[in-house]
Amino acid sequence: MKNPGILVPLLFSAIAFPAYALSPAEVFKDVPVGHWAERGVEEMALNRNIMRGYEDFTFRGELPYTRMQFAISMKEMIEEIEGIAKTTLKIDEPLSRDFFDVKGNDRDIVLPLANEYGLFENIPGIEPGAFHGERAITRFEVARGINNLLFNAEKKDVVRPRKNSKAYEFSDVPRQEDIYPVVQTVANRYGVMVGFPDTTFRGAEDLTRYQFAMTGYQTVPLISELVSSTLKQREVEKREAALVETSSHPFHVEVASGLTGGGVPNAMVPVLGFRWMGEPGWFLRNDTRMQFLSGAVAVGKDSSGLMLDERFGGFPTMRFYGLQPYVGGRAIGDFYSRTSLFGGLLYGLSGEWPVDSTWNIGVNLYESNLLLARNLGASTPKPGGMFLGGADLEVSYHLNPKLDLTAGVGFWEAPSGYRAALPGMAKANVTDFKLGVSFSL
């Protein structure tokens, strides 16, 4: 047999083994390979240290699993859950139970579980003043203890009911029994201790150490999974709440000035923009802009122009790490000595990330697939196609609950990226430096 590691004497003359990659048969000389409870022993005694063997390298699985041993196991499981959740599961109002038959160091385990966690409330057979720690634990008593623990964990939002859980009914647990709602809760609400394939719960049976190991093998990982999934769900909700908070001002007005480049003369570009954001359940974006261009981009060879740009896009809320895709439409009218119109599909990706409660960073990447009609006053307007694309980076400061101040930079080009320009139209770009205010009425 391989070296099982250093032996650590426990309160009830048991030992704990480090979670090396050893099988139960390599650690416990009375657990043969292929034993029906092998996986339970491995999970509970080796992987999680919730059960322990004895100093003579035996597991003694046929012995009853006592209430005192159950208390030690629950202490270990609570510490594991609290470590994952990084919070305490103690009840809000401590109790004052005392058990005169619990002596010595055992009191340091049983009394905190009873009074600080309320773990043993309403467990059958535990009397006022008497814990009866030497008695074998039953599945009903385990169910009551698990229910007490998860009920308090749910109050602290460390555990939430399992989604899409099956509706279990047990043929040997009559509805009129006091234990019925407890069994239903642990099985149907939390999805643990779901009974046996023959629809029985077998709750009145005393558990052996092997049987408790298998019960824990089926239960403890599910509880840890519930805790982990709840924490992930809370993080998603926290992130979404922060995004809603930072997007809570639906109206935005900004002024910008920048430079044109590419195939048109460099010039200042004054811009006045107005933006409206929709309800939190939807990502709706309406963006209206007026730009006075010297060295106009949209009309090609014109020396100047007035451009009106209307963008509207939306998508149901699908935020993932602060990113939100959207699709919509875009129309651009460029008016000066000649008239040009664009119209077509708009699609993009928007993102918002709160730095803290005051500062927020936002980005917007977009492209428009536009159909262009030029020289509308001519007898034969010339249609064509073009891609406009760009990016915006914005920083906002939360001044008060109704007002944010923003600053940013934007860049767009026509045609965008690798897209080919229209015949006779040079590639051009515009860089804007923007100041704005976001507000709610």
Q: State phi, psi for 258 to the nearest 5 degrees.
A: -155, -160
Q: State phi, psi for 270 to the nearest 5 degrees.
A: -70, 140
Residue (of 79, 85, 84) closest to 119 by Cα position:
79
Q: Would you say 297 and 414 are in contact if contact means Cβ atoms under 8 Å apart?
A: yes
Q: State phi, psi for 403 to the nearest 5 degrees.
A: -145, 130
Q: Would you say 322 and 351 are in contact if contact means Cβ atoms under 8 Å apart?
A: yes
* 14 pLDDT more than 50: no
Residue-level pLDDT at 17: 42
Q: Would you say 14 and 45 are in contact if contact means Cβ atoms under 8 Å apart?
A: no
* 11 pLDDT more than 60: no
Residue-level pLDDT at 274: 78
Pair of tokens at residue 96: 């004052």
Burial (CB count <10 Å: 0-12, 13-18, 19+), residue 189:
middle
Coil, helix or strand at residue 154: helix
Amino acid making up residue 250: P
Q: What is the mean pLDDT of residues 231-242?
A: 77
Pair of tokens at residue 133: 């720690």
Average pLDDT, the chain: 82
Sequence length of the chain is 441
Q: Would you say 350 and 364 are in contact if contact means Cβ atoms under 8 Å apart?
A: yes
3-state helix, strand, coil in the chain (%, to 5): 25, 35, 40
Cα–Cα distance measured from residue 441 to residue 292, given in angstroms and rounded to the nearest whole number: 29
Helices (H), 156-301: 180-184, 209-246
Of the listed ranges 33-37, 209-213, 301-305, the one predicted with least confidence = 301-305
Pair of tokens at residue 269: 């570009």
Cα–Cα distance measured from residue 368 to residue 175, given in angstroms and rounded to the nearest whole number: 63
* 248 pLDDT more than 70: no
CA 190, chain centre distance (Å): 19
* 246 pLDDT more than 60: no
Q: pLDDT band for position 263 (50/70/90)?
A: low
Cα–Cα distance measured from residue 398 to residue 438, given in angstroms and rounded to the nearest whole number: 9
* 68 pLDDT more than 70: yes
Residue whose entry in the numeric block shows the structure tokens 């055992």:
106
Q: What is the mean pLDDT of residues 96-124?
A: 94
Pair of tokens at residue 268: 């200042």
Helices (H), 179-208: 180-184
Q: Would you say 251 and 262 are in contact if contact means Cβ atoms under 8 Å apart?
A: no
Q: What is the mean pLDDT of residues 427-441?
A: 85
Residue whose entry in the numeric block shows the structure tokens 């709160």:
354
Cα–Cα distance measured from residue 276 to residue 332, given in angstroms and rounded to the nearest whole number: 18
* 236 pLDDT more than 60: yes
Pair of tokens at residue 225: 């999974």
Q: pLDDT band for position 351 (50/70/90)?
A: confident
In which element (H, E) is residue 324 found? Answer: strand 323-335
Domains and CATH numbers, the chain: 62-239 (no CATH), 247-439 (2.40.128.100)
* Proportion of the chain above pLDDT 70, given as a percent: 79
Tell me the per-residue pLDDT of 369-424, one tens digit each, with 9 for 90 and over.
Answer: 888 766 555 555 566 777 889 999 999 998 887 888 999 999 988 787 767 666 66
Pair of tokens at residue 75: 């202490």
Residue (of 348, 324, 254, 336) closest to 295 by Cα position:
336
CA distances from 4 to 26, 27, 29, 48, 358 (A): 8, 6, 11, 15, 54
Burial (CB count <10 Å: 0-12, 13-18, 19+), residue 365:
middle
Helix axis angle, 67-85 to 107-115, nearest 10°: 60
CA distances from 85 to 348, 362, 387 (A): 37, 31, 49
* Proportion of the chain above pLDDT 90, given as a percent: 48
Q: pLDDT band for position 427 (50/70/90)?
A: confident
Q: What is the mean pLDDT of residues 239-259?
A: 71
Cis peptide bond prior to 415, omega within 30° of 0: yes
* 312 pLDDT more than 80: yes
Residue-level pLDDT at 6: 29
Cα–Cα distance measured from residue 257 to residue 235, given in angstroms and rounded to the nearest whole number: 39
Q: What angle do CA 377, 382, 383 make, to 5 degrees?
A: 120
Answering whether pTM is above 0.85, one says no
Cα–Cα distance measured from residue 165 to residue 3, given in angstroms and rounded to the nearest whole number: 43
